[in-house]
Amino acid sequence: MTALHILVTAGPTHEPIDPVRYLANRSSGKQGFAIAAALAARGARVTLVAGPVALPTPPGVTRIDVETALEMAAAVEAALPVDAAMMVAAVADWRVDRTAQKIKKGPDGPPTLQLVENPDILATLAASPLRPRLLIGFAAETERVTEHATAKLTRKRADWIVANDVSGDVMGGAANAVHIVTAGGIESWERLPKDEVAARLADRILATLAPNGSATFDTPDTHCYDPAMSGSITIALKRLPHGEGLPLPVYATEGAAGMDVVAAEETVLVPGARAAIATGFAIAIPPGYEVQVRPRSGLALKHGITCLNTPGTIDSDYRGEVKVILANLGQEPFAIARGDRIAQLVPAPVQRAVLEVVEALDDTARGVGGFGSTGR
C-alpha cells in the first residue's frame, strides 16, 4: 500500500543582494513544520521544502533545504507528483537583480537595488498538469483578512486558502487564529497554538483526500477524481506495473471538463499510422456512466494527432487497461514519450434505451429528409 504523498513548503526565502547580504522576512517556519509533523504522524509521506530556518526536522519527514524562491520552485517541481500540497512558505515576491561583487560604500552614495519578480510557486503548481488533487495556500494579511484571502483563492486557483492576520505577533509566535477559505465559504477558527492548528488542518486534509477514512494509505491507487469539484463521481483506478511513477489523470485547470491522461510507453507514429497507446492503468466506472476519450486540441491543431475513434468510450464494465487510439493525420512522424499528455478523459452519464419494433413511425414535418437536404 502506498502512503498519501503530501508536499509542504515552509519558512521564509532569502534573496541574495550580493555575496554577503540578503533580503528576508520574519517567517519562522513553525506553522509549516508543525503541519508537516502532524501529517507524518498520521501516516502520510511528507516532503518538506524548507527555507532557511533553524528548526529540527519532524520525525518521518523528508526535508529539502533551500534558500531562495527559485530554489524552492525547483525543489517543489522535483517533488511532484503529490496528492496534496500546502504552500505555507512566505516566499519573497521579488529577488534582487544582483551583482557578483560585494556592494561597497563609495562616493556615488547609496546603491540602488533592482528587483525582479519571483515565480509564484503556488499559482504555477495550480496551472501545472501535475496539479495535486488538493492545493492549499496560506495568506498572511494585515487587514481585511478574509476579503483578501477570498481574492487570493480565485487568483491563485487554490482549493483552500488558510488565512491569518499577521498584524500581531503571529510571525514567529506560538499561536495563530486562522480562517479556512474555500469555494464553499469561510470557516473561522479561534486562536489556537500552532500545533493545534496543524493537527486540525492535517485531519481535514486527510479526510478530504480519503473521504471514507479507511483509504488513508491507498487513495493514490483507488481515486482519481477531484473532490473539490461539485457533482463528481468516484472512479476506482488501478495502476498497472508499467504505469508506476506516472502522474494520474488530472484536471489541468479549475474548469477543465476532461482529465489529461499520459502515455505509459514511447513510440513514433509515422504519417497515416495509428496505435493503441498504453496508459498504465485500468478503471472501474460506476454503472450508469461512461468515460469518453477525446483528443487534445493542441496536438490535433499543431501535429494532426487525434483519437481515431473519437469520442472513444470506456464502458462501466470494462476492467482492462485504458488505451488511447491515436492516429497521425499530419505530415511528419510524431514521437510520443512516456509521460506525454495524449488525450483527455471526460466522465459522462449514459442514457440507455429499449428498442420496440413497430410497423410505422409517427409523421413529422421533416419526414425522410436528411443527408444534406436542408442545404449546405
Torsion of Cα atoms, 310 then 316 then 320 then 323, to 10°: 20
Q: Between residues 11 and 81, which has the closer beta carbon with respect to ligand CTP?
A: 11
Separation CA 250–CA 118 (nearest Å): 26
Q: How far is the CB of 84 from ligand CTP (least distance, A)?
A: 13
Separation CA 19–CA 108 (nearest Å): 20
| Stretch of residues binding ligand CTP (CB under 6 A), selected from 88-96, 98-106, 191-199, 268-276 | 88-96
Q: How far is the CB of 136 from ligand CTP (least distance, A)?
A: 7
**Encoded amino acid at 76, one letter:** V
Helices (H), the chain: 30-41, 69-79, 121-126, 145-156, 194-209, 219-222, 297-303
Residue 3 near ligand CTP by CB under 6 A: no
- The 3-state DSSP class for residue 345 equals strand
DSSP state of 40: H
Q: Which of 25, 118, 176, 212 is labelled catalytic?
A: 25
Q: Between residues 90 and 199, which has the closer beta carbon with respect to ligand CTP?
A: 90
Q: How far is the CB of 111 from ligand CTP (least distance, A)?
A: 24
* Count, residues near ligand CTP per rule CB under 6 A: 16
Torsion of Cα atoms, 218 then 219 then 222 then 228, to 10°: 170
Interaction with ligand CTP in 10-69: which residues (CB under 6 A)? 69
- The 3-state DSSP class for residue 133 equals coil
| Stretch of residues binding ligand CTP (CB under 6 A), selected from 119-127, 201-209, 293-301, 346-354 | 119-127
Residue 150 near ligand CTP by CB under 6 A: no
DSSP string, 139-153: EEESSSHHHHHHHHH
Residue 93 near ligand CTP by CB under 6 A: yes
- The 3-state DSSP class for residue 220 equals helix
309 is catalytic: no
Give me the residue label for grid cell 479561534: 190
Residue 121 near ligand CTP by CB under 6 A: yes
| Stretch of residues binding ligand CTP (CB under 6 A), selected from 83-91, 108-116, 194-202, 281-289 | 83-91
Interaction with ligand CTP in 122-141: which residues (CB under 6 A)? 122, 137-140
Q: Which residues are catalytic?
A: 25
Residues that bind ligand CTP (CB under 6 A): 9, 69, 87, 89, 91, 93, 118, 120-122, 137-140, 152, 156
